[in-house]
Structure 1
């Protein structure tokens, strides 16, 4: 028995690698690969096998598989060479480092002989040693038991949920085929020979039908701070939404709360959640840092959002000092435009948040980063979680009693929010990067606070001028960059040829707090689809196709 175990790269959509047959003898290898490491490997060169576990033996190879969200599906590709050597055959003049920056695997997914999706994996993904040596590629496609997501699971999600896989795989029997090739992108994309392929017979049973209890609109009971609405709405539209959640069209949704004209009109819970559940909404918590900044400015503990980092830190004591770093403002941290060499959406960015979490001082991690010479402070947008941690640290040092106590006294207590849970930085400061947990009705209070212009029950908790600044498009949507305010996102939905604009907090998993600018609506959606490619698109579809049509007059 031979076991093969994957080496994981935690929490990202990027790339490990290895290779198989094809061009292996045409050009001398540029690096020493692992070679053919076993008899099982030798007899399966060029094949992709499907397996239920990451550790396996030959008897575990699958010929048929019942595809459902709860069943794990993984693959092993037995290759004749390493990825780096395959790429070398495509471009013999490039160095190993250049090959890693310009190429990777290409995966093709076919259903019943028809090409459904093809993906050239991100160049910067994966570990160089694996690219240089690995000749057996064992990766998860869907595997909820690993405890983390690997690039291959994100790729499967993109194939299945966003690029036609789910639509092609209807009830019945199908053949799934996967092909792997190397590719290189220089002046043009060069595709190498096929290096591994494999087929699997898939069985898809009839989806479970929702019960009437699952479809029924859930009754709303009294809750402090909320009056229950008596307005009419399209109840059948909400019943249809409940059905689609129960039948797993929308996945891992835990709650939906709708407030109209300041009153609670819809309150639905799913997948084991209830009214008291504290939801981990991840980066939704960033918006709260913006709120507390506005309160602190209103109270005089901060002068304005135009204050610079140099007023709070001796930046010469940190690595990569430059005068440009002194000029970073609170406003640029609030608008994700601080100019640091950082981008959470790019794994090879020095300031990516995944490199921050293992360190023992997140603020130092951020302030040690170099400035990006190509960026202008306040002009170039890139998502930068560590910058919001710095903002939280500044608040903690500036307000009486520290950030956690101040937030409780000035924000949560006036809103009547008593049950919540912070996460903390290594320095035990309330974590403004995200993870602030509370129940859905309390999240809705927070959204309504902004919809009310900073007022709650007649009291001005947050300066109205700050609400307006937060809901200003400091960055307009352009070149795949979003419209963005002060740690709030912005987008519009179109229903019946009319456009409805909303600002919103957003967190990994598809968590949202929406408040509309031209409708008296606040909507909370919570979910646990962490790292899933479908998480945010399905939240938008719920809003577009169900909630807005149900609530609009």
Structure 2
């Protein structure tokens, strides 16, 4: 379903669009494509809003978005499913609250599903009431067009949600009558080609261009506050202001009080605001947060993102898998580093099982040393893309268990997202509790997190290899929790020993960059004026980093949109050591 935002409609109907004016008042003139164009398609899901559980006839009836269905009850457990797979709910009643999970429906464009927490509270009428906020499936494309002295149009595609522009490779455009062509070289190809052919509507000026199977209607984006720019087209000079105090467990302070040079940080934020938007590989920083001495002192957002928008953390979510395992251990779940993988997942080990699989343990999975034939940078059987794109085996645990071995576990480290996902499956088997409920009970609730989405596998279990969505403030909490030796507001969430082992530089992950790895945590050492500073962090594709530097009692968090582009490393390799660390006293 194509969707044009009200803003776009207003722009098209207003008299301020030169293109629209020329197409109506001067139909014979040659239109000029120069300028910024934007298109958005929204695919749902449409089930959202207030969820009410109403006592009726000795049972409960669920009411949401025009649907009314019966609630199944088994003791304190409640659940219901909407017709046609439009969504489902499961929860546990405790006093005047029902702690639940909303499992959103897939959309027309994606088979991806997420689980989000929903807390229902008893109101004055005796009904249970809460808000369902699913992850919105939408795609946005910006097309900034400039014209050279030779009259040719140069352009590129910016896609903030998935950075598809780096794969599509558009570099120029042509307008032949009402026919629009986007030309470029696709990633992995050498020959320039016509990548997309669309049409310009002579009445409205809209450019309708098919991109990867979906038609996008591009309209001129003349808004001063366009998210294409870090802070709009003509931003004011940046002046620091401290973060807002919220009821989310974050104490706040100021840069000056916590020993950070305000002028230096202002210069850096201004640098991000002034970042030229001249190509698909321009750094796309979506948020920057800094905490020192356990207090949030800086919170800035860019390109239309804000504190209430959960961000795709990609592989940085692996560190949340580590935290959940550690929290489960702390709560008494009998899972250990030496817990065997196949015995746990299968119940009994087949006599003909590869001996190398029999000896595989949880520690091998979370240290990335399990000997499976997988490597996320290639196309081996266990690689994440290979596993997620195949359709023969929807159970990704079973798929992983059947991947052949390539070497003895523990011999070397090879990054593969299938491994931590299997570790999450072990935890779920042993705890006998779904991961979304366990995550809410052991991490989210005590750490005041309610606005997040856990990426689900086709069979409904949370995916432990990445893709969860969290707000930047909650993402920062993960690293602050480990900086606090596993405590949040005085409560021991994970043990100090788990923190120490998880963040230790156990193996070299990248000899080129010097990046090391522990248990689903990355680490690196910075050189600051001859002083070695050890830092550990969850890291994810696109520029998702929440850097903890114990010697400075400092947490630095970035989210970004440079997915599948080498510039994603700029935050941790350039901005942190060159722009931020020198400002810390």
Answer whether TM exceeds 0.5 for this pair. Answer: yes
Alpha-carbon distance between aligned partners in 2 of 1:466 and 1:383, rounded to the nearest angstrom: 21
1:278 and 1:440 in contact (8 A); partners too? yes
Find the residue that maps to 2:322 and give its secondary structure: helix
2:430 pairs with one of 364, 373, 398? 398
Q: Are residues 1:226 and 2:250 paired?
A: yes
* Residue 66 of structure 1, CA deviation: 3.6
Alignment of structure 1 residues 52-201 onto 2, 5 Å: 64-66=152-154, 73-74=170-171, 138=193, 146=211
Alignment of structure 1 residues 303-342 onto 2, 5 Å: 303-314=335-346, 321-342=353-374
Alpha-carbon distance between aligned partners in 1 of 2:253 and 2:231, rounded to the nearest angstrom: 33
TM-superposition CA deviations, 1:442-462 (whole Å, max 9, x none): 111111100000011111111
1:355 pairs with one of 372, 380, 386? 386
2:273 pairs with one of 224, 227, 246? 246
1:210 and 1:247 in contact (8 A); partners too? no
Alignment of structure 1 residues 39-58 onto 2, 5 Å: none
- Cα–Cα, structure 1 residues 458 and 498, in superposed 2: closer, same or farther, change >3 Å? same
Q: Are residues 1:420 and 2:437 paired?
A: no
Residue number in structure 1 paired with 2:262: 235
Q: Are residues 1:213 and 2:236 paired?
A: yes
Find the residue that maps to 2:345 and give its secondary structure: coil
Alignment of structure 1 residues 375-414 onto 2, 5 Å: 375-414=407-446
- Cα–Cα, structure 1 residues 408 and 537, in superposed 2: closer, same or farther, change >3 Å? same
Q: TM-score, normalised by structure 1?
A: 0.62
1:368 pairs with one of 402, 418, 438? 402
Find the residue that maps to 1:379 and give its secondary structure: coil
TM-superposition CA deviations, 1:50-83 (whole Å, max 9, x none): xxxxxxxxxxxx984446676973599xxxxxxx
* Residue 341 of structure 1, CA deviation: 0.8
1:508 pairs with one of 515, 522, 541? 541
Alpha-carbon distance between aligned partners in 2 of 1:319 and 1:138, rounded to the nearest angstrom: 55
1:465 pairs with one of 473, 484, 497? 497
- Cα–Cα, structure 1 residues 506 and 416, in superposed 2: closer, same or farther, change >3 Å? same
Alpha-carbon distance between aligned partners in 2 of 1:316 and 1:63, rounded to the nearest angstrom: 71
* Residue 384 of structure 1, CA deviation: 0.9
1:268 pairs with one of 300, 312, 331? 300
1:400 and 1:406 in contact (8 A); partners too? no
- Cα–Cα, structure 1 residues 248 and 317, in superposed 2: closer, same or farther, change >3 Å? farther
Find the residue that maps to 2:265 and give its secondary structure: helix
1:315 and 1:325 in contact (8 A); partners too? no
* Residue 324 of structure 1, CA deviation: 0.7
* Residue 211 of structure 1, CA deviation: 4.9
* Residue 210 of structure 1, CA deviation: 7.7
- Cα–Cα, structure 1 residues 316 and 138, in superposed 2: closer, same or farther, change >3 Å? farther
- Cα–Cα, structure 1 residues 357 and 214, in superposed 2: closer, same or farther, change >3 Å? farther
TM-superposition CA deviations, 1:306-351 (whole Å, max 9, x none): 111132133998999411111111001010000111111123x222
Alpha-carbon distance between aligned partners in 2 of 1:271 and 1:300, rounded to the nearest angstrom: 43
TM-superposition CA deviations, 1:13-57 (whole Å, max 9, x none): xxxxxxxxxxxxxxxxxxxxxxxxxxxxxxxxxxxxxxxxxxxxx
- Cα–Cα, structure 1 residues 140 and 391, in superposed 2: closer, same or farther, change >3 Å? farther
The structure carrying a bigger helix percent of its residues is 1
Find the residue that maps to 1:483 and give its secondary structure: strand
1:352 and 1:384 in contact (8 A); partners too? yes
Alignment root-mean-square deviation, CA: 3.3
Find the residue that maps to 1:275 and give its secondary structure: coil
* Residue 472 of structure 1, CA deviation: 1.7
Find the residue that maps to 1:255 and give its secondary structure: strand
Find the residue that maps to 1:414 and give its secondary structure: coil
Alpha-carbon distance between aligned partners in 2 of 1:312 and 1:208, rounded to the nearest angstrom: 51
Q: TM-score, normalised by structure 2?
A: 0.59
TM-superposition CA deviations, 1:247-279 (whole Å, max 9, x none): 335622111110000111111010001111111
1:515 and 1:523 in contact (8 A); partners too? yes
1:217 and 1:268 in contact (8 A); partners too? no
Find the residue that maps to 1:534 and give its secondary structure: helix
Alpha-carbon distance between aligned partners in 2 of 1:310 and 1:216, rounded to the nearest angstrom: 56
Find the residue that maps to 1:377 and give its secondary structure: coil
1:216 and 1:242 in contact (8 A); partners too? no
Alpha-carbon distance between aligned partners in 2 of 1:526 and 1:502, rounded to the nearest angstrom: 17
TM-superposition CA deviations, 1:389-417 (whole Å, max 9, x none): 11111122222432111111111111111
Alpha-carbon distance between aligned partners in 2 of 1:412 and 1:366, rounded to the nearest angstrom: 28
Residue number in structure 1 paired with 2:580: 547
2:555 pairs with one of 503, 515, 522? 522
Alpha-carbon distance between aligned partners in 2 of 1:236 and 1:520, rounded to the nearest angstrom: 20
1:471 and 1:485 in contact (8 A); partners too? yes
The structure carrying a bigger strand percent of its residues is 2
- For structure 2, which runs of at least 5 residues remain unmatched after alignment? 1-149, 159-164, 174-184, 197-208, 214-229, 277-281
1:258 and 1:264 in contact (8 A); partners too? yes
- Cα–Cα, structure 1 residues 69 and 208, in superposed 2: closer, same or farther, change >3 Å? farther
1:282 pairs with one of 270, 290, 314? 314
Find the residue that maps to 2:445 and give its secondary structure: helix
* Residue 534 of structure 1, CA deviation: 0.6
